[in-house]
């Protein structure tokens, strides 16, 4: 199977498990889908969402438009490994969030601050998994479109985490969130968290 074909199949699996299946699980558990991005207010939230969604779509479109006669090499194998790791990280983190899982921020809603599992070391492991998956896709199918999509997705994720979600969680949880920030990294474990143990 060619790298581009396998990448498209893994992208479809990611959407099926991380979005469709997770939404169904959330609906069963809470009675809501967890999709609240349409309730986000402000230019920063809209721009972050647009960059993130557009970037991820560009990665998929770039894969679909790629030459399917591409050959396997060490970089493509590394890309597939990154995609599988990204999918696994995303699913584990979503499960750890439980009823607090959301796509987007609703300022009227109060969710619990999740600090267990992967969230004990990283504040945004779902975003980490998504970035790892997108980077793996761009490595396996290296085109201008997949590379630009990865850059846009990265910009959107950083903006969403830093400018939208973190201020919301700080308002919601106050000093508890500040303490959590001090011992965890945004996307990767921090040295402070390792030293804290």
* pLDDT (tens digit per residue) in 121-165: 999 999 999 999 999 999 999 999 999 999 999 999 999 999 999
CA atoms within 13 A on the CB side of 46: 3
DSSP 36: -
Which pTM does this prediction carry? 0.89
Q: How many residues does the chain have?
A: 197
Q: Name 122's bridge partners.
A: 185
CA atoms within 13 A on the CB side of 176: 8
Residue 89, class by beta-carbon neighbours within 10 Å (0-12 exposed, 13-18 middle, 19+ buried)?
buried
Which uninterrupted H or E stretch holds 1? none
Question: Where residue 39 falls among pLDDT bands split at 50, 70, 90?
Answer: low
Residue found under tokens 């939208």: 164
Out of 13-22, 41-50, 75-84, which region has the weakest mean confidence (pLDDT)?
41-50
For residues 3-7, average pLDDT: 94
Which uninterrupted H or E stretch holds 45? helix 43-65
Higher pLDDT, 29 or 14: 14
């Amino acid at each position: 199977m060619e790298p581009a074909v396998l990448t498209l199949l893994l992208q479809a699996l990611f959407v099926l498990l991380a979005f469709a299946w997770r939404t169904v699980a959330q609906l069963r558990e809470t009675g809501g889908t967890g999709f609240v991005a349409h309730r986000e207010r402000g230019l920063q939230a809209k721009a972050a969402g647009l960059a993130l969604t557009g970037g991820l779509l560009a990665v998929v479109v770039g894969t679909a438009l790629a030459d399917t006669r591409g050959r396997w090499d060490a970089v493509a194998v590394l890309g597939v490994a990154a995609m599988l790791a990204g999918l696994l990280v995303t699913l584990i983190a979503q499960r750890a969030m439980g009823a607090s899982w959301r796509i987007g921020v609703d300022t009227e809603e109060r969710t619990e601050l999740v600090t267990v599992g992967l969230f004990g070391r990283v504040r945004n492991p779902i975003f980490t998994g998504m970035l790892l998956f997108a980077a793996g896709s761009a490595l396996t199918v290296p085109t201008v479109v997949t590379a630009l999509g990865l850059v846009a997705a990265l910009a959107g994720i950083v903006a969403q985490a830093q400018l939208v979600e973190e201020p919301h969680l700080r308002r919601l949880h106050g000093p508890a969130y500040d303490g959590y920030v001090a011992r965890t990294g945004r996307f990767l474990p921090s040295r402070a968290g390792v030293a804290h143990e």
